[in-house]
Every structure is written in C-alpha cells, then in structure tokens.
A and B are shown apart, each in its own frame.
Chain A
Amino acid sequence: MQGKIIIFGFGSFGRHLYKHLKPIGKQIIVVVDKNNYTEALDDEQIDIQKINIKQNDNIFDLGIDPRDDVVYCSMDKTAHNLFLVLSLKTLYRQLNIIAISNSFENARKLRYAGATSVIDLYEATSRRFVHMLTKPAVMKAIDEIIYKENNLKMAEITLPKDSPVDKKHLSQIDFKTHGIVLIAIIDTERGRELSFVDHSIDHKLDSGDTLVVVAQKENLEKFRTYLERK
C-alpha cells in the first residue's frame, strides 16, 4: 500500500485515531506542536515529530506527498486545526485532509478552509445516544458493521476491467449469493455522484465504477477475487 498517514495532534482523539489506524499497516507519522509538547508523549513505538506548526519549512520537512498521503488534523483546539488546514492547503492543493471538529459551526469553517472531510466529534456520539433510546436495532447494526472489531465490514470496491459483472445491470447480479449487501454506487456513466442503491435505477456496471458494500471479510475477499476473474 502506498502513501503514509500523518496525524497532527496526539491528544485524546489523536490517540484513539492512532489505535484504529495502526492495524491498517501504513506508515504513520504523528506530528505534535513543539510549543505544546510534553515529554509524556515520547514512545519508542510511535514516530513522533515535534515541529512548529506555524513554520511552513517545518511542514515541508515532513515530506508530505499530496497525491497519496492522508492527513488528519486532530489538534485539541479547533483554531489550531483551522490554521493547519489552511497552511496545508496553501502548500499542497491536492492533499486529502480529514479534520476533527467539536461543533457544526466549526465544521463549516474547516470545510471552507479546505478540509476534504470533517468529522464532528459529538455528532456521531449524540446520534448513538439517541439511537440507544429510540432505535436500538439500528444501534446494534451500526455497532456490528462499524464499531465492533468483528468480521463484518463496510468497504468500497472499484470494478476492474473486464470483470464478470462488466456491462451487466444490477438486476442481473445476485449479490446475496456472494453474501454481500450493496449499499451505494458511483456509476461513472452518470458522473461522479454517489447514489444509494434503492432499486430505483437499474445501474449498468462498467469498469471504474465504485461499489460500497457491507459483507463478512471472507465474502468480501471472495467477491474481490471473483471480480478479478476475466
């Protein structure tokens, strides 16, 4: 796998993020602000870089590759995240930046500054508290698919050239026999927009289309192998 992951900030969120990114197996660099650095952060296992985030040269020295690297802005203060997003976007226009926010209002500012995606720290949590009270089955399903470390996984598959499903319509493919639930698709014939597969459109599959599916890991691998068959 190409590209590395750079996490700015190693507070409470940064640590959780590191924990979940580590199993992916990519190179992870944790960057902390020199001015707010504490000795307690030192860990032989973690590649921690201490820089002055206000200095562009310091950021350049990290050797960010804007095409393949993913940057997470997870500093404790939203103002620092906003400053970072702006700095990174000025230096690397193409860079994928995921920023953390603590409110809807700050999420808007971060998106405006150029963050590719913003995760609201409390939005998903509040939804979870509410699901617990009003939709326990939904909560259990989301737990199984997203939060629990089990076999079930949500994943995306980009269709290769000349796959067995190439030029076929969705209605012609029995995803159930593959143990897969198809949720959404980017049908390149129709543009780059993501649409949920609620059976209102019988999409024709072509190479380059992206499918978002939920499946058991082994079924997912089998399906990927099946698609590679010419």
Chain B
Amino acid sequence: MNINETKNFIVKLAYFLESSVQYNKIKQFFYDLLENDNYPYKKYFDFFMIFVILSSVTLLVMDVKHHVPQWLDDLDLYFVTTVFIVEYILRMWVYSDIHKIVIETHEEAVFFSKPLKLSNVFKKVLKDKWEYMTTPSAIIDLIAILPSYRGLRVLRVLILFRAFKMLRYTKSLTSFLEVLKNKKFELITLLTLSGFFIFIAGIMLYVFEGNDQNQNIHNLFDAFYWALITISTVGYGDISPVTPEGRVVTMLIIFTGIGLISFATSIIVSSFSERLTMLREDRIVQNISKKESITVICGFGLLGRLVAQELEKEGVSFVVIEKDSDLAEHAYSMGYKAICADATREKVFEQLKIKSNISHVLCLTSDDIVNIFIAVNVKSLNKNVHVAARCSDEEVAQKMYFADVDQVIMPEEIAGMMAAVYVGEPVAFEVLLSIIDQKDKIQIDEIEITAGSLGDGSTLKELQLESLRVILLGILRGSKRKDPEFIFNPDDDFILQEKDNIVCIAHQAAISNLKRKMQ
C-alpha cells in the first residue's frame, strides 16, 4: 500500500466512522458510562471502580505484615491492572474524535487544493490526546497503573495513587478540590509567605546554631525541618534552639505561625461558606432533574411560602427558585429544595430540564411584571408547561393571558369576592371560609371514578352517598378536556362514567372511606 492509498484508506475510514450509527452508539455508551453524571448506570460503574481500588489498597496494607496469597497478588496484578489500562484507554478514546480531526484536515486540504499531509493529522491527534494525558486526573490514572511493575518495590507505594483515583468516582471529594481551586490565589500567597518565613528562619537558626552549638542541627535541611515544625505549631521537640539568638528566632516564628494558620483556616472556611450553597444547589438540580413532573415555585414571599407548605402537605414534588439569597436560604432552612437563581433567565430552567421534566411553573413573586417575564421565559422554552401566575392588576392579567399563561390568580380579587359574601349572609361566609381554608376536619374533596371501580357505570342512587355521610356538590365530567363540565347537584339516576370526578363535602374520615370503596 503506497502513501496515497494509505491516505485514502484513512479518510474513507474517518467518513465511515462519522456516518456509522453503531460506532457512534458504542462511543456514546462509553462516554455516558465514564463521564456523564446523569447516566443512570454510571453510578454502578463508579461503585465497581471504588471496590476495585479499595481491594487493591487493602492488599498493599496487608502485604506489610502478612503474606498475601499468590492468587490474590495475581488478581491484583492482572485483573486490576487490566481494568485500569482499559479504563485509561477508553477515557482517552472518548475524550475526542480522531476521525473528526482527519475529516477536518482533509476538508481543509481539499478547500485549499493541497494534498493531505498525514504528519499534520498525526500532530493534531497527538496534540489532542496529549491535552487529555496531561490533565491531573489522567496523570493520576497513569501513575495508578505503574505499581503493576513489580521490579521496583518503591513503586508499590504508588498504589496509593489508586486511592486518588477515587476522586473521579465520588462527587463530594471532587467538590472539596473545587473549593480549594477557587482559592488558588490566596493559597499560593499563603504558601509563598510560609516558604519565605521557613527559608529565613531556617537560615537564621543554621547561622546561629549550625556550627556545632546545637547537636541536633547537622545541616541546612535540619534547620528547615525545625522551622516548618515550629511555624506549623506542631513542635515535635526533637530539635530545639539552645542559644538565646535561636530562641528569639523561635519566638518570632511562633507568632508568625499562629498568624499563618489563622490565615489558612479563614481562607478555607470562607471558601467553603461561599461554595456551600452552590454545591448544595448543584445537588438539588441533579436530584430534581432526574424526576418527572416537577412543579417550580418562582418567588418565596408570603404567597410562595404558603403554596410551598400546602404542596408539601399534598406530597407534590416541587422546587423553589428565588432570586433573593436570604429568602432562598430561608426556603432551604424550611426543608424545601431551593435554588437561588433568576427565574427570568433560561439557565436555571435548562438545568432543571424544562423540555422534559417540568410540568407546572407557578409565578408567585409580588411583582406582576416579573411574573409576566418569568411566564414568557418558561413558555418560550416549552409551550407545554402549565404556567400559573399571581397578578394584582386586571389589565396586567389580560396581558398574561395574551402571553399564553394558563391560569391567572388574583389574591385581591379572590379575597374581595369572599369578603363580599359576608354582607347579609355571615353564616354562609363562615361555611365558605371553612371550606376554602380547610382548617376543620370537614373538607371539600374530589374522587375520580377509575375504570372498573365501584362507581364506573353506577347511578348515584346505587352509591348511597348519604349513608356514607357525604354531601354531594356535583360531578366534573371530562376533567382531562380543556373545558370540563361541572354538573351541579345531579339527579339520583345520573350514571357515572370512567374519569368522572365526584366533588363532595364531608368529614376527612368519610372521604377516605369513600375513596377506599371507589378503589
């Protein structure tokens, strides 16, 4: 095969791989398994890897004082190493697509009417894969394979790098490193400062006591070791100053050490407190995005709080989005899943997978304009999400309906209607409050007629609701339709159908009893 034939073969192979459904499926599967946190089977792979790593480290520890059976040693050598090598290669494979580089370079060459240079392709591929190989996690992966070479005993210690590999599989450990990474500048400053003090103090002590005055200081290394142990406030006491000058240096370095440790603690603590909310929210988003039919409450003011309390009682799965960090924190402290984010932006809804997982969005902020903004944002992302909004102004309500909001609810209107009932009819008003507030054991409720249940095809007379101590208000027919029909006070010979809803007022116990019977 000459060079041109090789080039043609590589290009053809690249196009074949690009169009092969099977190949892309397999690659996607391995990508999901190794890298995609939302892939349901990834956690099983992670557990398996953690198990393999822990077994390997246990064998290393056991080997210190006990004889490990040969078969276990072989298992560690062949099986574990094979798993690690395969994993390393797979990760490198899924990191990028070689065939895409080939196609890109080929098309570039065709565009400029130049021959394809294989050396260019190799350079690009190598650069791409080298980029992966030099990432910290890939380096750890590679070092973790090395202990398999038994010729050098010291390499056995590198098995501990296998423990570092666990960082890949446990999110909380990765999060910890993320926190430190964010304080890189402060930590480097701290490290430089510490290094500077250790350097100065070490040299000073060596100058004062290194010339045989102190039996424990043999060289500069001893002096640096002493400075580090002292500045970190550990103070083993194996090396201690004997001259007044040395003691003065010690006193100074102890004060500096206290300062540096406080500095380090404050950096890490502040970094954690800053990141904690974000980490928590990431977890909430991940948990929620796996569920279906989520309700989103936007705004955690007075109304948002009440709705959240009621939804929790009803067992509805929901998440709160609140822009104000204090209110979001308050929602979290009340035990709700809360995210501090701007609901007028698409980012948070994309994270919660609005296209597939969100069923209802409630816009409950106290600002009508913000509510419209949120509603339009949601509807523009997914028209099928049911959006309900709170509104205080009738003119704004019209605009909300124009923006396709499914339900507009006006607190002042509702309260105004209720309050108007009082005039001339205070007893009816009391009943009304009691039914709407549901504070008493008497409740208004609905029971759906399911196919084949007791109610399906029966007349109301046959159900004998009175003997079940239930007050029938009416039947809702076609509840799944856009405009269902409420049949008030139907006759005794009214025949119930599947999916009808009986709306009634009764004691909680009577309703539970009726629901049981209907099942």
Contact = CB atoms under 8 A, between A and B. Distances in A.
Interface of A: 1, 5, 12-13, 15-17, 19-21, 24, 26, 70, 72, 74, 96, 98, 100, 102-103, 116-117, 119-130, 132-138, 140-142, 144-147, 152, 154-156, 176, 179-184, 186, 194, 196-200, 210, 212, 214-216
Nearest to B440: A196
B418 interface: yes
Which of B412, B430, B446, B484 has the most A CB atoms < 10 Å from its CB?
B412
A198 B506 contact: yes
Contact of A198 (B469, B479, B489): B469
B431 A194 contact: yes
Majority SS of interface residues in chain A? mixed
B364 interface: yes
Contact of B306 (A17, A96, A123): A123
A123 B439 CA distance: 11
Contacts of B86: none
Given A146-B418, A198-B505, A212-B431, 6 more contacts: A1-B424, A16-B415, A121-B411, A125-B409, A129-B310, A198-B507
A144 B488 contact: yes
B485 to A, nearest CB: 9
19 contacts: A13-B412, A100-B419, A117-B430, A119-B433, A120-B437, A122-B302, A122-B411, A127-B438, A129-B303, A129-B310, A129-B388, A130-B316, A136-B446, A136-B484, A137-B484, A137-B501, A154-B431, A181-B473, A184-B431
B303 A126 contact: yes
Contacts of B388: 129, 132
A98 B471 contact: no
Interface string B234-269: 000000000000000000000000000000000000
Contacts of A199: 466-467, 469
B337 interface: no
A70 B410 CA distance: 24
B418 A119 contact: yes
A20 B416 contact: yes
A19 B473 CA distance: 28
B421 interface: yes
B326 interface: no
B420 A20 contact: yes
Contacts of A126: 303, 306-307, 309-310
B428 interface: yes
Interface in B367-417: 388, 390, 392-393, 407, 409-417
Q: In which size bucket is the chain B interface?
A: 35 or more
B180 interface: no
Contact of B413 (A16, A140, A152, A212): A16
A12 B506 CA distance: 35
A11 B474 CA distance: 36
Contacts of A130: 307, 310-311, 314, 316
A196 B414 contact: no
A116 to B, nearest CB: 8
B503 interface: yes
A127 B503 CA distance: 16
Contact of A138 (B433, B444, B488): B444
A127 B309 CA distance: 10
Contacts of B414: 124-125, 128, 147
Contact of B505 (A12, A137, A183): A183
Which of A129, A154, A182 has the most B CB atoms < 10 Å from its CB?
A129
Contacts of A133: 295, 311, 314, 316, 360
B300 to A, nearest CB: 12
Given A125-B303, A176-B492, A183-B505, A197 B471 contact: yes
5 interchain residue pairs of minimum CB distance: A16-B416, A137-B501, A126-B306, A20-B420, A137-B446
Nearest to B444: A138
Given A138-B445, A141-B473, A198-B471, A98 B390 contact: no
Contacts of A121: 411-412, 415
B204 interface: no
A117 B506 contact: no
Given A20-B416, A96-B426, A117 B479 contact: no
B446 A138 contact: yes
Nearest to A175: B489
B31 interface: no
A141 B471 contact: no
Nearest to B309: A126
A156 B295 contact: no
B491 A141 contact: no
B302 A124 contact: no
A125 B510 CA distance: 26
B409 A196 contact: no
A122 to B, nearest CB: 5
Which of A137, A141, A176, A197 has the most B CB atoms < 10 Å from its CB?
A137
Contacts of A123: 306, 436-437
Contacts of B364: 129
B472 interface: yes
Given A20-B417, A124-B436, A130-B310, A137 B479 contact: yes
Interface in B494-510: 501, 503, 505-507, 510
B506 A129 contact: no
Contacts of A146: 417-418, 421, 432, 436
Contact of A147 (B417, B433, B444): B417
Contacts of A19: 416
A140 B246 CA distance: 87
A12 B393 CA distance: 8
A15 B394 CA distance: 11
Nearest to B425: A156
Interface string B456-498: 0000000000110111111010010000101011011000000
A164 to B, nearest CB: 20
Contacts of B314: 130, 133-134
Contacts of B306: 122-123, 125-126
Which of B306, B430, B476 has the most A CB atoms < 10 Å from its CB?
B306
Contacts of A179: 489
Contacts of B426: 96, 116-117, 156
A179 to B, nearest CB: 6
Contacts of A200: 469
B428 A156 contact: yes
B483 to A, nearest CB: 10
